[in-house]
Chains A and B, each alone.
Chain A
Amino acid sequence: MSLQELENVIGNTPIDRQSGKRLVHLVERAKAEGHKDYTFDLLIQEVNPQSPEALALAMHALVQNGIVQRVIRVESPTTHGGIGDFSSVAEVPKEIHDWRADEDIQVRPENLHVVYKF
């Protein structure tokens, strides 16, 4: 996708202009460096949007356009390292093997984190 197309995708969302520019730069940099994972908290810190909701809508647009992949990451409650990525909340099993702790755990909402993969 070209820079112009990227700017158009983000520009067509409610995100404010300055934050939108920062988001464009972030996407370009992340794509260039490769294999980047951003949680929503990190995106807020880097983009500093006037409205987190607007940022969420911008990210949704990027996902819809295939620029970014959104996964639901299950984190180990003991180490907070990832133990499995799923494409949606519906696909997350109720119980999962936490290989970092070597035991099966009941997946709770606090174990789930949205991650955007560039």
Chain B
Amino acid sequence: MADQRKESDRNIRLLLSLIERTSTLEKTKGFLAARKLHFSAGSWKELVEARIEPALQSDALAADDLLEFLCESEEHGGQHIFLFRIDPDTAKQLADRVRIRVELRRRGLQTLLDRPLILDKPEAPQIVDVRWEQEERFLVKIVEPRSFFRQIDERREGNIITTVREEIIFRAVNLLRLHSDGLLEMRLQSHKNSSQYSDDINRAWDVVGTILPRVQFVEEAIVAAKTFMVREQQKLKDEIRYSDSLLKDDNGYVLSAATPDQDSNLFDNSAAARSLEQFMRPGGTYCERLNIWVSPLSGGQPSKSSIHVRLAGLPNEFALTTACSKQDYEYVLARIRECNR
């Protein structure tokens, strides 16, 4: 009993530490407010000591609530997403609960079916959660250690330049989500200073192994979605703002255009708009790279905030460059899928 209590306290402390790193003070206050709990605080420390801990002690808040909030914070946005496809019948077989239980037991991970593992920085990539979303989608969550280098000093003595760098190790969260219609999203946490994700893709496939066998999936290219978004920009203008684009045709010609800043819209510049529209004649031309800002429509009205989406890289790749809500993530994914038909 005492061990269980210690484990529970450890998990809560870790959950709070992870939430502090992946969310913001304002969003965490919003989380408490939504549960009709006291939320005013001037700092994270104050929020934890004066608001969260008392709520936990009085059972107004549970560890599961914190876990749900952590999932919302770290599973949406700040990711590069790669789409794959499998036929729906095979998708249904792969997501079968009995099959998954067998797969997890083989790996000694069957406890994940009851509750996820709460880990900070494991030494190697680790599956920490397996769950179903309304029987329509099956999700596997992986936590892995990643590192980047930060330059902290550079000294020059004559012709000798000495650079001192610090290796920063951090926790990265990746997810694979299989839809009942056969679409698989592989969401990989964004790198700070690289745009190459081939190694990360291969590693994610290796980690899930036979749970989601790589050999059965094919890449789902989104070239059609990018080309549609440029061709139909007039129809999409209430929802999408364009920051830059790279178009190519079947003669090898390239047309690139970009705005001066992130608030401007490429198609508000009449000369740029005419050039892009003329280049995108039907047949023989496509859009290879697009940077857009999506304002989700609700009741036909765009929201005041916008989500940066980068459609570039591999043919099946797009990125939501900053953390966002689950609702916004699902909206963007749904729109890309619609534009891709």
Show the binding face of A for B, using Cβ within 8 Å: 37, 73, 76, 79-83, 85, 94-95, 99-105, 115
Q: Of B151, B191, B258, which contacts A103 at CB under 8 A? A: B191
Contact residues, B66-104 vs A (CB, 8 A): 80
A84 to chain B, nearest CB (A): 8
> Which residues of B lie under 8 Å from residue A103 when comparing CB positions?
191-195
Do A99 and B262 touch (CB < 8 A)? yes
Do B192 and A79 touch (CB < 8 A)? no
Interface of B is mostly: strand
Show the binding face of B for A, using Cβ within 8 Å: 80, 151, 190-195, 243-244, 246, 256, 258-262, 289, 291, 308, 310, 319, 321
B91 to chain A, nearest CB (A): 29
> Which residues of B lie under 8 Å from residue A102 when comparing CB positions?
80, 190, 195, 310, 319, 321
> Which residues of B lie under 8 Å from residue A99 when comparing CB positions?
262, 291, 308, 321
> Which residues of B lie under 8 Å from residue A95 when comparing CB positions?
151
> Which residues of B lie under 8 Å from residue A100 when comparing CB positions?
243-244, 258, 291, 310
Specify which of A79, A103, A105 lies most central, judged by the most chain B CB atoms within 10 Å of its CB: A79
Q: How far is the CA of A103 from the CA of B262 in the complex (A)?
A: 16
> Which residues of B lie under 8 Å from residue A73 when comparing CB positions?
260
B184 to chain A, nearest CB (A): 22
Q: How far is the CA of A80 from the CA of B243 in the complex (A)?
A: 11
Q: Nearest residue in A to B195 (C-beta to C-beta)?
A: A103
Q: How far is the CA of A115 from the CA of B193 in the complex (A)?
A: 27
> Which residues of A lie under 8 Å from residue B256 when comparing CB positions?
79-80
> Which residues of B lie under 8 Å from residue A94 when comparing CB positions?
151
Q: Nearest residue in A to B260 (C-beta to C-beta)?
A: A82
- 20 of the cross-chain contacts (CB-CB < 8 Å) are A76-B258, A79-B244, A79-B258, A79-B291, A81-B243, A81-B244, A82-B259, A82-B260, A82-B261, A85-B261, A94-B151, A95-B151, A99-B308, A100-B243, A101-B310, A102-B195, A102-B310, A103-B195, A104-B193, A105-B193
Q: Nearest residue in A to B191 (C-beta to C-beta)?
A: A103
Q: Nearest residue in A to B262 (C-beta to C-beta)?
A: A99
Q: How far is the CA of A103 from the CA of B259 in the complex (A)?
A: 18
B160 to chain A, nearest CB (A): 20
Given contacts A100-B244, A100-B291, contact A81 B195 (CB under 8 A): no
Q: How far is the CA of A95 from the CA of B148 in the complex (A)?
A: 14
Q: Nearest residue in A to B246 (C-beta to C-beta)?
A: A79
Q: How far is the CA of A117 from the CA of B289 in the complex (A)?
A: 28
Q: Nearest residue in A to B310 (C-beta to C-beta)?
A: A102
> Which residues of A lie under 8 Å from residue B291 when comparing CB positions?
79, 81, 99-100
B111 to chain A, nearest CB (A): 36
B164 to chain A, nearest CB (A): 14
A113 to chain B, nearest CB (A): 10
Q: How far is the CA of A82 from the CA of B266 in the complex (A)?
A: 13
Q: Of B191, B258, B319, B321, which contacts A81 at CB under 8 A? A: B258
Q: How far is the CA of A115 from the CA of B261 in the complex (A)?
A: 12
> Which residues of A lie under 8 Å from residue B194 when comparing CB positions?
103
A86 to chain B, nearest CB (A): 12
Q: How far is the CA of A82 from the CA of B190 in the complex (A)?
A: 21
Q: How far is the CA of A26 from the CA of B256 in the complex (A)?
A: 27
